Structure 1
Amino acid sequence: MSEVEVVVAHRERATLRVGDVFLKIDADPGRTDIEVEAMTLAPVPTPEVLWHRPPVLALAALPGTALGRLGEPSTASPAAWAAAGAAVRTLHDAPLPPWPGQSLDEVAARVDAECEWLVSNGVLPTDLVTRNRQIAEAALRPWTPVFTHGDLQITHIFVDGDEVTGVLDWSEAGRGDAHFDLATLTLGHEERLGDLLAGYRADVDLDVIRGWWSLRSLVVVRWLVTHGFDPFAPGCEVDVLKSRL
């Protein structure tokens, strides 16, 4: 008999696995609606939707394994990373989804608020926050919006050998900066950026990628801490920030 496995659980969402079925429970039904529509529109492999009865979404398991994990070396081949890059490029070349993403002003306001919180609460040293906020400025420029995944963590792309079998967790999808997806996927795995871009096959501004590495790490520390995760773990967000010094 299959057992219930808690994949992830916090105050906003929970994901359970029962055999080959994933059950996603979201306190905000709007996010689930976006996830289902995004998977319908995205021209890349996604999990099969078995049924959707808000607040629960049932998805079939994907074959293969995740491209890697934050804080651990990725054992995926350079060809697998290139295949992931090609899949991301296919998504970015697709027609825009009908709903918007975050604006430049919203992103800038959020990073400034998070930097203030990190310093005022003594979570991170002032010089570390200040230096990374300076680097993040490179990402805060007007961008041409593309169809972005919006939360393209390394665990959200599955591969089997050198082929992409699917992309998970589309609840943050929308119109956004292509560089953000590329930076999110390579966060903590900067040495694999070249392999990813070999498959992406488009001009990329490396300073903007570095800016998004710093920006994303700055804005997620508070969320991670307050939801029971550890951004201070080796190779994770705080180490990414420290590597910029």
Structure 2
Amino acid sequence: MKIDILTLFPEMFTGVFGESILKKAQEKNAVSLNVVNFRNYSTNKHQNVDDYPYGGGAGMVLTPQPIFDAVDELVKDHTRKPRVILMCPQGEKYTQQKAEELAKEDHLIFVCGHYEGYDERIREFVVTDEISIGDFVLTGGELASMVIVDSVVRLLPNVLGNEDSPIKDSHSSGRLEHPHYTRPANFRGMEVPAVLLSGNHQKIENWRERESFRRTFLRRPDLLDLNNLSDREKVWIEEIKKELE
């Protein structure tokens, strides 16, 4: 996968892209991460990339020319049009399902804005997706794009040491992940559930499924379709309710 980031602050990405899974993914040639300062594409003699909005109002607006030219340069040698993602608080709220969708692409371009907003022609004629990572406003799109890049790259083949890891993560199945335990089995009197020490893989898997459901029911019931539960899940709910009495 090739990922290009259009930003006015390329130095922000140095630490994040040079550490942990993102660093390993690049070393394995699973992904190419390219950060581009789109100010370099400005044809303005002062390399300005923003201007006052037509009609008046507060703040400055990113002009279309640098973004259009930067994207044109990045796609000129590609026969297939990439996904061009605008980081925007007005965009679709980001989910694990969206990460899985984007992980199937060959080329992603992220546009990180600053100032008051974007010239609307960028949205209409360049962008394929508008994404928000939550109902809040950041100074720019850089931090949000880092979040998305990390969540997408870890899903690429051979990036994680265990190929089952992304499959069993919270939200990948539509539910929160079950609890985890490691050594020692008894820490300050707090014991690991006996079933995890039993060696019975079927019982362990059943316990994990129930605990995943329990955690989701208690913490994020909005993720469950309570009108279409299996008989087993209905029993679990009754058991959970009794535990809470």
Q: Which TM-score band (shorter chain)?
A: under 0.3
Greater RCO, 1 or 2 (C-alpha within 8 Å, sep 6+): 1
Tell me which structure has the larger Cα radius of gyration.
2
* TM-score, with length taken from structure 2: 0.24
* TM-score, with length taken from structure 1: 0.24
